[in-house]
Amino acid sequence: GENVEQHPSTLSVQEGDSAVIKCTYSDSASNYFPWYKQELGKGPQLIIDIRSNVGEKKDQRIAVTLNKTAKHFSLHITETQPEDSAVYFCAAPWDGGTSYGKLTFGQGTILTVHP
């Protein structure tokens, strides 16, 4: 099955700075890479995802980049705001994408944005 490593485990930035979280995966057949944001006491919310046929996807202040050769993908948050503070998870398909919806998650990154 897929193995996903996520770094860093904690990230502290000043408001207005950028934040970058990186994940590596092991299965070269994986074709779908979502990012989730989890606020305290709530379920994870999908914030952006990317498929293997593109190298970058952007949605306002959030972007995800994918390097298939190196088998890593990253979440970029620009102009961070205090409300961006949360735990962020990356994920990849359990078995390269043949069993839809079964995801392997990274261990999460606690992002703190200081005002």
Partner 1 sequence: SQTIHQWPATLVQPVGSPLSLECTVEGTSNPNLYWYRQAAGRGLQLLFYSVGIGQISSEVPQNLSASRPQDRQFILSSKKLLLSDSGFYLCAWSGGGNTIYFGEGSWLTVV
Footprint of partner 1 (CB under 8 A):
32, 34, 36, 41-46, 49, 87, 89, 91, 93-94, 97, 100-105, 107-108
Q: Name which of 10 and 18 has its Cβ closer to partner 1.
A: 10
Which of these, 18, 27, 98, lies nearest to 63 by C-alpha position? 18
Closest approach of partner 1 to the CB of residue 79, in Å? 26
Which residues on adjacent β-strands are paired with residue 41?
none
Looking at the Cβ atoms of 101 and 115, the one nearer to partner 1 is 101
Among 89, 83, 95, 98, smallest CA distance to 36 is for 89
Please, what is the minimum distance in Å from the beta carbon of residue 108 to partner 1? 5
Sheet strands side by side (includes 19-25): 4-7, 19-25, 72-77, 62-67, 56-59
Choice between 21 and 44, CB closer to partner 1: 44
